Structure 1
Amino acid sequence: MKKIYITDLDHTFLRTDLSVSDYTKKIWNSYEKDSVISIATARTYKKTMQFLKGVSINAPMILLDGALIATTDKKIVDTKFVSKEMADEIIEEGGKLGIYPFVLSLVDQELNEAFTYSTTLNNYQTEILKRYANDDHTQGFKNLRAMDDNFKIVYMADEAILIELEERIKKIFGDELKYILAPEAYMGCYFLTILHKDADKAHGITSVSESAGFDLNNLSVFGDNLNDIGMFNLANTSVAVANAHDDVKKMADIVLQHSNDEDGVAKYLEGLRDG
C-alpha cells in the first residue's frame, strides 16, 4: 500500500520568500512514483499553481482551507461554499467595527476566481495587496458585496477586534460556519477566516482519500499553523516544522529540527529514504 504525504504550503513547504528550493523539488518529486503526494493550503488554485511550478502532485489538492478540492488539471472534486446571503451579513457585521474582509469566490467551473475587497483598507490589508498587484482577479469595491459561491471570507486585523467580530458572527450563525482565528507569522497581525462548516483540511483529506482511494493509516502530514491541527488529528503521522506555532508542535507526533527556510519537509523525507 502506498504511503501518502500531504503538506501545508506557507511557512511549511514554501520558504518565507514563497519559493521552493531545487533541493526540496528534487526530494519531493522523487516520491511521486511510489507514493501519493499532494498539498493542503489556504491558497487559491491560481496562486498554488504559480508557487508549485516544477513540483509533482499526483492526487487532488486541498485548497482554500478545504473549501475546494481540485486536481492540477482543474477537475473539481468537491466544494464547500458560504452563501451570498450569509457572506453579505458577515461583511455588514465587520463594517460595524470598521473593518472589511477579503472575499474569495468561484466565478465559473474553469476555476476562475474572484478576490474582492473593500476600498476601505487597514495597513495589513494594504501590505498584502501589494503581493497581488499584477493579478487580474482582484477588485476593490466602495460597497463590497459577496458573489453567489464564496469559498471564504478573510479578515486581517489585531487579535482583539477579530475576537469581538468572531463573537458577533457566532451569535448570528453559531455552528453553521467554521471560524479560524490564527496569527500571521510575519506581519504581526491575526487572520479570522470564515468558511462553510465542513470546509477544513481534515474534511478535505477525507474527500481526497475517497477520490484517490488511499488508506488514512498510511498518511503523513506536514504543517505549521492552527488550521493544520485538524489534519494532524486525522493523520497517522503528523509532522511540524521547527518554525511551527507552539500549539501545533504540541499536537505533532514529530517536530523537525529544521524550518521551512531550511527545507525541513524535504530533509525529513530524505531521512526516511536514507533510514
Structure 2
Amino acid sequence: MKKIYITDLDHTFLRTDLSLSSFTREVWNAQASSSIMSIATARTYKKTAQFLQNIELNAPMILLDGALIATMDKKIIDTKFINKEVGDAVIDEGAKFGIYPFVLALADNNLNEAFLYSDILNEHQKKVLKKYSKDDNLQELKNIRAMSDNFKIVYFSDETQLRALSSHLQAIFGESLKYILAPEAYVGCYFLTLLHRDADKSHGIRSVSEYVGFDLKKLTVFGDNFNDIGMFELAGISVAVANAQEGVKKLADIVLPHTNDEDAVAKYLKGLKSAK
C-alpha cells in the first residue's frame, strides 16, 4: 500500500517569503510518483493554488483549516460552514470587545471566495490586509455581516484581548463552534479562528482518507502550529519542523533539524529515499 504525506503550508512547507525552492519542488514531485501527496492549510483555495503551481498533488486538499476539502481542479469533496445567523451573532459579540473580524465565505459554486472586513481595523489587521492588497475578493463593509456559507471567522489582535474574546464566545456558543487561538508569525500578534465544530485538519484528514481509501497508519504529516495537532494525533508519523511552536514539538514523533526556510519537508523526504 502506498504511503501518504500531507503537509501544512505556512512555516512548514512554504518558506517565510511564501516561495518554494526548486529543490523542494523536485523532491516532492519525485515522491508523488509513488506516494499519495497533499496539503492541509488554513489558506483559501485561491491562495493555495497560487503557491503550489508546478507541485504534484494526487489527493484532495484540506483547505481553510478543514472547512473545505477540494481537489486542485475545483471538485468539492466536503464543506463545513458557519451559517449566517451564527456568523452574525459572533460578529455582534466581538463588537462588544471593540473588534471586528475577517469573514471568509463561499461566494459561488465555482470556489470563488469572499474576504469580508470591517472599515474599523486595528493595527494588526491592517498589516494582514497589506498582504492581500492585490486580491480581487476583498470587500470592505461599514456594517460587516456574515454570508450564507461562511468558512471561517478570524480575529487578529494581541493575546490578552483574544483570550478574553475566545472565553466569552465559548461561554455563549459552546461546542457548536471550533476555536483556534495561536500566535501569528507573519504579523507578530495572535489570531483567533472560529469554524464549524467539525471543521479542522483532523476531520479533513478523515474525509480525504475516506475519499482516497488509505490507512491512517501509513500517513505522515508535517506541521508547525497548534492547528496541526489534530493531524498529529491521527497520523502514523507526525513531524514538526525546527521552527514549530514548542508545544507542537512536544507532541511530534519527529522534530526535524531544519526550518521551513531550509526545505525541512523536502530534506526529510529526500532522507527517506537515501535510507532505502
Q: Which TM-score band applies after superposition, normalised by the shorter structure?
A: over 0.9
* Corresponding residue number in structure 2 for 1:212: 212
Q: 2:69 is matched with which residue?
A: 69
Q: Does the aligned pair in 1 maintain the 2:128–2:187 contact within 8 Å? A: no
Give the corresponding residue for 1:260: 260
Aligned pairs for 1:1-150 within 5 A:
1-150=1-150
Q: Deviations over 1:168-207 (max 9, x none)?
A: 1112110000000000123221000000000000000000
**AA paired with 1:191?**
F
Find the counterpart in structure 2 of residue 152 from structure 1. 152
Cα deviations across residues 18-57 of structure 1 (Å, max 9, x unaligned)? 0011100000000111100000000000000000011111
Give the gaps of 5 or more residues in structure 2: none
Secondary structure, counterpart of 1:132 in structure 2: coil
Letter in 2 for 1:55: I
**Residue number in structure 2 paired with 1:196:** 196
Counterpart AA for 1:208: V
Counterpart AA for 2:41 = T
**TM-score when scaled to structure 1?**
0.99
Structure 1 runs (4+) deviating above 3 angstroms are none
Q: Counterpart in 1 of 2:184?
A: 184
> How far, CA to CA, are the matches of 1:65 and 1:213 in structure 2?
21
Could you state the TM-score of these two structures normalised by the residue count of structure 2? 0.99
Query: Match for 2:219: what amino acid?
Result: L
Kept after mapping to 1: 8 A contact 2:69/2:79: yes
Sequence identity (%): 67
The one-letter code of the counterpart of 1:223 is G
Secondary structure, counterpart of 1:53 in structure 2: coil
Computed over aligned residues only, the root mean square deviation of the Cα atoms, in angstroms, reads: 0.6
- Counterparts of 1:204-243 in structure 2, within 5 Å, are 204-243=204-243
Tell me the amino acid that sits aligned with residue 148 of structure 1: S
Q: Deviations over 1:92-132 (max 9, x none)?
A: 11111111110000011110100000010111111111111
- Gaps (5+ residues) in structure 1? none
Which residue of structure 2 aligns with residue 249 of structure 1?
249
